[in-house]
Every structure is written in C-alpha cells, then in structure tokens.
Structure 1
Amino acid sequence: MSPAKVESATGRVQRLLTMVPWLVSRQGIEIEEAAAGLGITEQQLVADLDLLFMCGYGQMPDEMIEASYEGGRVFVGNADTIARPLRLNVDEAISLIVGLRSLAASGVGESSAVERALAKLEAATGTIPGVERVVVVEDDTESGRATSLLRDALTAGRRVHLVYVVPSRDERTERDVDPMRLAHVEGYWYLEGWCHRAQDVRLFKVDRIESVDVLDEPAQLPEGVAHRDLSGGAYQRGDDDVPVTLRLAPSAHWVAEYYPVTSRETEGEDLIVTLPTSNEDFVRRLVLRLGGGARVLAPQALRERVATPAREALAAYDGG
C-alpha cells in the first residue's frame, strides 16, 4: 500500500481561503454536496471546518469565524472580512504593477492577458501618487543583457550564436540556435531553441550563456518541432541517467541550486540530494573538487571511484 500523501500547509491555507467565501454564499448546503463542490472528502471538509474555529481577523472570541455542520448542513458566519474581495494596499499594488510590466517586457506568457490585467490595475490605482511613475529598470548584469538580446532575437525571428558553458563536461561550446521561446522555470530563465550542433530542441540556462550574437540569418525551425513540456520542471530525464545520491555540507549547498536535483532532504546541517547524470566522471570530478564538502552515498561503484583518488591524494600529502 502506498503511503498517504501529506498535504502542505500552504496548500491547505489556499483551500481554506477559497472555501470560506464559497460556503458563505451557500449557507445551509449539505455536507455531501459541499465536499463534492470543493473537490474534497467529507472527512476533510469536517476537519477544515473544525480548523476554522481557530481562524479570524483577531484573537478575541467574537473575531473568530463561526462554522457549524450540525444536522448535516454547513453554516459559516462572522467571515465577512474574508468573504469580501481582497483589496491591495499601495505597496502591493506597486509590486504587482512592476511584476506585470516585467512580464510584459519579457515576452513570456499570454501577452493579451498580461496587458488586460495591467490596464485594469493601472486604471484602478491611477489616483495613487507616484504609481504612474513606476518603471521597470533594465537588468544590467551579464544574464540580464543576454536575456535582452535573446528577447530581441525572438521578436525579430533571428538565429543566435551562443558561447555556452556545459557543466557536466566542464567545457565551453559554441553553437547556432534558432530561438523558440524564453521560459521561466523554477526561478531560472531558459532559452528553448533548435540547436544546429545537436540537431534537436535544447534548453539553455541563461546564466550559463557567456555571450550572445544575434545573426543576420532568420530562425528556421524544422517541420514538426514542438515545445518541450516544462510543467514538471526544466530537467528532462534521459534513458542513460544514473541517480547519484550526495551528502552536501553547508559549503556545498549551492550544488543543489546549480544542478538539477530530483530530491532533497535535510539531515542536520547537511543536504541529501539525488543528482541524475549520464556522466559519472563529471560527478566524480565535482565531488573531488569540493574536497570534504560533498560525499557520494550511492551508487557504491561511484563512491569507490571517488574514495580511491582521495585516499591516494591524502597518502601523498602525508608522505610529503
């Protein structure tokens, strides 16, 4: 029997915030019907209603939400504050405007939907002093300049020449790419495009691009080329990938952010991560370079391949 899925606190809070106004507008609804409408079990609905007794806009008894399900029907009271539409304060409105303007400038997402949302927000906040002067400052870092050039190439439909760092092989490569889109996945920007070197669709992490040249040649994608499904993340598992389990000391925690790990857990101050790779030599070099900051836990064969040169190096040092 598979273990029960543990719901995150964030997920439950999001459901409660949706549930309260939904129930307020359906006073007296039967528990069975309410659970079906909310897409949860009756047991979960009862547990959520019990939790609402401890929620409210203050700490006094008369500031708590009242929830009742006696007689098989649900009634929710003293929840007008949550049931009303949310209102943004000035700081929240400005942050949202900046975010939407950045999104519109990046060319990512459904542009018409972004523009409609931005227009409504700017119209609603037009009377707030200073909001009309909010501007998006261009990112002048190397990654920001690369993103800007790639965005220009996408708009113009032009091919680009990249100098790209490939960490798994510790090398820099040069390649011509026909851009398809810029995608923001798991906090990072990626260029998706047809790589003429690989003769396939590839993802290029923007912060690993050392230089971008927009070429005169138009981008010409082969017939039938489609976008990758990035809903599950940027990492695309290969048939030859081997899951390598690493223990990372605090000094090596950056590995879990820079490389695509498929699992992570904390053990004291260390991170235990799974790093899939088709190039075990790369992982061996990485661990040796990190000294005591990383250790291979599995597979055993790779662990020995790392331990042997490490022991030889220590022996040579002791002998000197």
Structure 2
Amino acid sequence: MPRGDQLTRQWMLLQLIDRASGVTVAGAAETLGCAVRTIWRDLRVLQEAGFPIYDQKDGDGRRGLWKVTERFRTSLPVKLTLAELAALLMSRDLLAPLGASALGAPIDSAFDRLTRVLSRDALALIDRMRDVVGARALGAKLQAPAAEHMPRIHRALAERRTLWVRYYSFHRDEVTEREIDPYHLAWVDGGLYLVAWCHVRRAVRIFAVERIRDSAVRSRGFTAPRDFDARKYLDEGWGILRGELVTVKVRFARAVARYIRERLWHPSQRFRDLPDGRLEMTIQVGDTVEVRRWLLGHGVQAEIVEPRSLREALWREAAAMADALRPDRRPLASSGRRSATSASRTVAHSP
C-alpha cells in the first residue's frame, strides 16, 4: 500500500477516535473501507507514537470503544479536540509568511505551547501526515534584510504615523526616497504589500515590502480617509497589481467548466451556463499582467469575448508564443521583439 494512503487513513482514524462517542474497531474498518486487522495495525502506530488514545472496555472486559483520554482534553491550553489540534499543526505552514511580521513571535509562541501536549513521535507522525493531507503556502517567508522593516511598518500602522522609506522601483531600476502614510498591510501570493498614500505621487500606491531598502517612523501623524476601504481597493485587481478597470467576459470549454465554477476566482465573478456545456464567466477587474497570465494559462480552453482590446492583446501574445515555440527555432534565440503582455503592463506599484 502506498505510504500516502496509509497516512491518510491514520489521519481519518484519528478523527473517528476523537468523536465524543469514540469508535469501535469494526466501525472504523467499515467507515474507512479496510480490514479490521488494518485498523488494529494503525491503532498500534498511533499508540506507539504517543497519541493520547485508549480502548474503553465494556462490561465483560472485552475491547470496546477507542477514545481520546480525558487527561489530554483537560491539559490543552485552549479547548480543542485532538483532531482540531492535529489539523492546526498541519496548517502551520500557511502562517509562515507572517514570520517576518510583528505577529511572528506570538504565533510561534502559540504553536510551541500547543506542541508541548503531544509526544515527539506523535508530532513526527503529524508531520508525515501533513505531507499527504496537509496544506502548504505558496511562496516563502519574507527574508532579511527586508524583514527588519516589519517592526517599523507595524508601528507606523498602529500609531498612524508617516513612514519614510528608501524604495527600489523595479520598473525604473532605481532607489528613491519618499514619505508614505501606511493604510493597510496585505499578504498576497506569498508576498507582503503595503497600501499607502505616497506624498511624492499624491495618490494611493502599493509598495512591495521586499523592495524597501531603509525605513524610519516619522513623528508626524496622519488620518486615513474615512471612505477608503482597503479590501475594496485590493479587490479591484486580480492579485496585487492594478490597472484600468474593465469588464471581462470569457467562455470556458466544457472540459474545464466544472473546475472554473467550483472556485472563487474574484469577488465580482458571475457565471452563466451555455447550452453546449460551456461556461461564461464575467468579472470586473483591472486589466493587468496578472489577469492576462491567468487567462493565457487556460490555453484554448478559454475564449475571451470582451473587451476587444484584451482579446486582441492576448491574440498578439499567443502569436508571439507560437512563433517562439516553432519547431525550427533554436531555443533561447533572441526574437528581437517585446512580448505583448510586457508592453501593455499597467500597474499601481509606485514607480
């Protein structure tokens, strides 16, 4: 049996045992669709790893229900079930990007307290389960030296104070000094971004934290506009980039229609089923390189209907890609042309 199937089954068995009513060996075998001897083998693995489980014998001394020990339930620093604790530990990587922020130390402290109630072997088994059934975040922690700016950023946010920064502009390839009033800190696709009023540009801009070269909190305070909604501001983009707000209508082939429908891609999305099994999706979003890459990623399964400008831009990009991938073309050869997506990129990152 593949190792992944075994770990998945043990995780499901742990959840059955964690129920208030417990579970019998026969009941677990029936629920998980395996032999009784397989359940016994999994129970030995869990017990030997140190999980706080036991078999509650019935009146005639025979083995009965498997449950979580009451001592374990009362020892937790917060009221959690064993399955909830294991799931929380398996999801720890989702909070990894916050390690560089002011939240990093308290989060680490909380997890350290939670791990103390389980044995080392039990934690090791949870790690192996996480590799199969757990969740991992895309991207990585913010690295030094950018991480050193987080305490000052959080102070400026909390105290509503202007922040001085030396900021590297990716597009201009230069470092400039400016003062900004930070409104909101957001984590998007593994990166930390600061939404702030830029005193140089006299407008709201988005600053990538990893491009801040130096920072200092000014004594001068500021008041954020009452009508500014950071969530609404960010929702106008596909990811973190911003561009001209347009209504995009795209039709997806029947082969991917179910996959597209089952997810929330953007807050503004609306779906319409077509008679031939295709799915029409309408969104109102900034026309940026991010949404274009997402559309191109579906290849011929996605047909752009509106706006015409976006349809033509993606046609040029697809034509350039086809030319670059010609069988008679040497790999890495210079094409001497600029991609349509790069040429039309419009963002709200501060230049």
Q: Give the TM-score range, shorter chain.
A: 0.3 to 0.5
Given the two structures, how large is their TM-score scaled by the length of structure 2?
Answer: 0.38
Given the two structures, how large is their TM-score scaled by the length of structure 1?
Answer: 0.41
